Amino acid sequence: MPHRTILLAEETWIAARALGAWLDAGQEVAEVWIGSGSSLGKPLRQPLALAFPDWSVRKIIRRRGIPVHNGPRLRAWPEASARAAALGADSLLNLLGLQIIPKPLLDHFAGRAINVHPALLPRYRGPCPRLAMLVDGRDAEAGGVCMHLLSEAIDEGAILGDRSVPFPASGGYSEWDARLADAAADLIRAAAIPYLDGRLRPYPQDESLASYRKPVPGELDIGPTTSLAHARRLVETLGRVGRLVCTPTADASRRRSFHVTAIDRTLGEPTGQPARVTWRAVELDLVDARVRLRRRGFDERVRELGHAISALRRRTRLPTHA
């Protein structure tokens, strides 16, 4: 008999590939639960979803005719367990969903609530582990996907399996995202289903390796309080990811941020002059230097789109013709 799960997910490649693997293995989704703030309840802003529907959670849900329940946050929904029982769900699958699962719902599924985490637990528990490990330069040891049981404590449940996926040498963030998605799909087949079948035993996390890391406000931001050494570290790790921001003034009334990708030049000592912003660069004083940062322009966006298309095309089965 197939397993019948309640699905919590966000619109990500990792969630889409894991969901596809679950369905392709003959398993069922009783219902998708969407709470307030979920990306699945917002307009689809992924143009690649039209060309690569297998990489979109929403496209998969619509194509397979999976029912969706748009309800309250789980903490404010005491009837959630009763609804899961009425739907005949024997498990809960959280694919990068952002809600905390309340204890009554965990008790209802009694060790059959599974989570996907984009880091090798127990390292980098908590939200945004990928950006945090890039800033720390620890993607080689912590980059990957972990499948584990949900528990009352965040990201501390027993592990079903994991796959190491460091940041790639080429292809950028899109290639990393696609490799993580492939790893999540593999764990659905190799860990989640065997566990629910009773063929795989989970193992506890090694607390000696545990860390909880959440980027703090401003940590991914280059500005007047940033040292040159830290700015160099940020552009080396996040400049090619497209997530790095420069906020050239500390004046709250004039704060405006710009995406940047590299340090074009170190111009010397701080000058005390205000920041200078052009369509292609931001020149500003750091704590110990004045620098010119390259703004993320049209060419970088095209390059990132090209990387994304290439990553998906390599992993998409094209139809065969007789």
Return the structure tokens found at 152: 């009352």
Q: Put the strands of the sheet holding 159-164 in their side by side order.
A: 68-70, 28-34, 4-9, 91-95, 113-117, 144-149, 159-164
Would you give per-residue pLDDT tens digits along the chain (322 residues)? 899 999 999 999 999 999 999 999 999 999 999 987 788 877 766 778 888 999 999 999 999 999 999 989 999 999 999 999 999 999 999 999 988 999 999 999 999 999 999 999 999 999 889 988 988 889 999 999 999 999 999 999 999 999 999 999 888 889 999 999 999 999 999 999 999 999 999 999 999 999 998 877 677 889 999 999 989 988 887 887 777 889 988 765 667 889 999 999 999 999 999 999 999 999 999 999 999 999 988 888 888 888 889 999 999 864 444 3
| Cα radius of gyration (the chain) | 22
> What are the residues whose beta carbons fall under 8 Å from the beta carbon of 138, sequence distance 6 or more?
123, 124
Q: Rounded distance, CA 61 to CA 283, Å?
A: 47
Whole-angstrom distance, CA of residue 282 vs CA of residue 98: 34
Q: How many CA atoms lie within 13 A of 306 on its CB side?
A: 8
